[in-house]
Structure 1
Amino acid sequence: MGDFQFLYPAWFLALIPMAYLLRNRKPKSVVTSLIAPHLLRQMQTGAASRPSWPRWVLAVCWVLSVIALAGPSWEKNSIPGFQLAGARVLVMDMSHSMYTTDIKPNRLSQAHFKALDLLPGWTDGSTGLVAYSRDGYLISPLTDDSSTLTSLIPALSPGIMPFAGSNAAKGIEEAISLIKQAGYRQADIILITDGINDKELAESLSLLSDNPFRVSSLAIGTTEGGPVRHSDGSIFLQDDKTVISRLSLKNLKTLAAKTEALLKHSDLMTVT
């Protein structure tokens, strides 16, 4: 009984109209000079014989209803108010192709700049951060203060990833898991990447088929592309050939269209 409480005590204000209904009422004065004495006695007898129990039954039902609406509780449960606001997860591509220098100084630096530009505008709701290479990795859980991510984003690079590779679906999967664990039913996923292949697209759409989350993409790179480089600036070679990374927007457009989201390439916004 020590934890007994009413969750919505304001409902007790609804008892005021009932108190007004049950208050003692004085009989209205009757002008006796205009009514014969025997008729006056008959009228007073009829008024006194009227039953008052309907009003009391109504009063009891009213009180019980008010108590039920007030929410009597023997347990204290916190109500997650964060669910009333929006949520978003920033998913950043940390594949080796982000070192490509078709955008100066390179794609990775531009991804950092763009991410940091987005954070000040996210003042409502919670923001989380995920990075991916061959797998997805949680960098920051959902937080109401997105400015706390500003110290984490510049430190992200392909060099700190446990395994090299590129799989956007794994990043999206990690973001979905983060959103669900926090109890959100609706949220936005913002993908900053230099492109996804057909397999990544198919796996991403499969993950999103049962989850009503929008995936907006910010594409980093150019369609002409450029040589992929190491973190020290040297050219990345494969079978003695320079590896060239070119941005393709086709799959990103499909991903945005399927989730009713947005695609942004450089400074041009394309609504799909």
Structure 2
Amino acid sequence: MADFHFIRPWFLLAIVPVAIVLYGMFRQRGGKNAWEGVMDAHLFKHLEVGKGGGQRWRPIHVLSVVWVLSVIGLAGPTWQKQGSPFAEEQAGVVVVMKLSGSMEATDVQPSRLERAKFKMRDLIEARAGASHALIVYSGSAHLVMPLTKDGKILNSMAEGLSPAVMPTEGDALVEALKQAEVLLREAGVPGSVMVMADAVDPSQVAELAEVDKALPVEFWAIQPARSPVDKGLEEAARSRGADVQVMTDGREDVEIMSKVARSALLSVEGNDGSEIWQDAGYLCLPVIVLLSGFWIRRGWQ
């Protein structure tokens, strides 16, 4: 119970007017009944509800409990967390894919670019129901698809991509990251960026500071599994406090990057995960409903 607290503690202030009203009712109840002045005492004691018959629980007592329980329920007592069923679906991952000539290298089959598309498809499948977007870059950056939960459309749009569709050759990684930052901000959802590239121009590393540091950026090296990682890519990842995940022949890298995307979401939300405090106020409802049923009894209204 060390974690016990109220989600909406300001509702506890409602105890004050409740206490005042109940105090007045008890005080009035404890005073002399007006009927005692118009009938004989030996008759009155047999007619008054709750006196002489052994009744301990009166309407005012039950009303007190109902009111207090209602205030506690509204304040939202809680002591444990639960996973949010919607957090993963609301989170967005913006895939930033390099589309320069070097991605056509065939040191991985069928090519680095095609393998990147395959990995993106696997990632979308692993995060089924979540939102994804795609930005490609070379000498300039371009939005291919905004955030969508329809992975089939995104994969279809990626199919026809090649370096030939880019207006200029180069490495505009910073421009692509800025576009991703704007995309997530305008969508109003938490999320992260996943860069799929074989290398990063060292000139881009110094400019990465221009991108919001709070934006989680992860790097996925599209290259042969046993080859050394590009130095520029390593420096870019280091500047963002991230690691470089090297592409594997199987799905190990996909599973890792899916978990990384989730971890990035938790970091953005500022709590220990997509977990939220479980509101236990609903536990008061059965008792409130049960006690309210007493008002159907004669004499309680």
Cα-Cα RMSD? 3.9
Matched, 1:94 2:85: no
Compared with structure 1, are the counterparts of its residues 20 and 145 closer, same or farther at alpha carbon in structure 2 (3 Å cutoff)?
A: farther
Matched-pair contact (CA < 8 Å) for 1:95–1:132 = yes
In structure 2, what residue type is equivalent to 1:192? M
Matched, 1:17 2:18: yes
Matched, 1:265 2:270: no
Partner of 1:197: 201
Matched-pair contact (CA < 8 Å) for 2:171–2:201 = no
Q: Residues of 2 paired with 1:249 and 1:132: CA distance?
A: 18
Aligned pairs for 1:161-240 (under 5 A) are 161-184=166-189, 187-203=191-207, 205-208=208-211, 210-222=212-224
TM-score under structure 2 length normalisation: 0.52
User: Which structure shows the higher strand fraction?
Assistant: 1
| Cα distance, 1:12 vs structure 2 | 11
Compared with structure 1, are the counterparts of its residues 99 and 171 closer, same or farther at alpha carbon in structure 2 (3 Å cutoff)?
A: same
User: Per the alignment, in what secondary structure is the counterpart of residue 146 of structure 2?
Assistant: strand
Matched-pair contact (CA < 8 Å) for 2:89–2:131 = no
| Cα distance, 1:124 vs structure 2 | 6.3
In structure 2, what residue type is equivalent to 1:161? M
Matched-pair contact (CA < 8 Å) for 2:101–2:169 = yes
Matched-pair contact (CA < 8 Å) for 2:205–2:239 = no
| Cα distance, 1:13 vs structure 2 | 12
Structure 2, unpaired ranges of 5+:
1-7, 33-70, 75-85, 258-301
Structure with more relative contact order (C-alpha pairs < 8 Å, separation 6 or more): 2
Compared with structure 1, are the counterparts of its residues 17 and 125 closer, same or farther at alpha carbon in structure 2 (3 Å cutoff)?
A: farther
Matched-pair contact (CA < 8 Å) for 1:107–1:220 = yes
User: Per the alignment, in what secondary structure is the counterpart of residue 163 of structure 1?
Assistant: coil
Matched, 1:252 2:252: no
In structure 2, what residue type is equivalent to 1:88? V
| Cα distance, 1:152 vs structure 2 | 1.7
In structure 2, what residue type is equivalent to 1:200? Q
Matched-pair contact (CA < 8 Å) for 1:87–1:187 = yes
| Cα distance, 1:110 vs structure 2 | 0.5
Aligned pairs for 1:56-135 (under 5 A) are 85-123=90-128, 126-135=131-140
User: Per the alignment, in what secondary structure is the counterpart of residue 91 of structure 1?
Assistant: strand
Partner of 1:78: none
Matched, 1:26 2:29: yes
Matched-pair contact (CA < 8 Å) for 1:83–1:183 = no
TM-score under structure 1 length normalisation: 0.57
In structure 2, what residue type is equivalent to 1:27? G
User: Which structure shows the higher helix fraction?
Assistant: 2
Identity %: 28
In structure 2, what residue type is equivalent to 1:218? W
Q: Residues of 1 paired with 2:142 and 2:96: CA distance?
A: 9
User: Per the alignment, in what secondary structure is the counterpart of residue 30 of structure 2?
Assistant: coil
Partner of 2:165: 160
Q: Residues of 2 paired with 1:83 and 1:116: CA distance?
A: 18
User: Per the alignment, in what secondary structure is the counterpart of residue 136 of structure 2?
Assistant: strand
Compared with structure 1, are the counterparts of its residues 84 and 119 closer, same or farther at alpha carbon in structure 2 (3 Å cutoff)?
A: closer
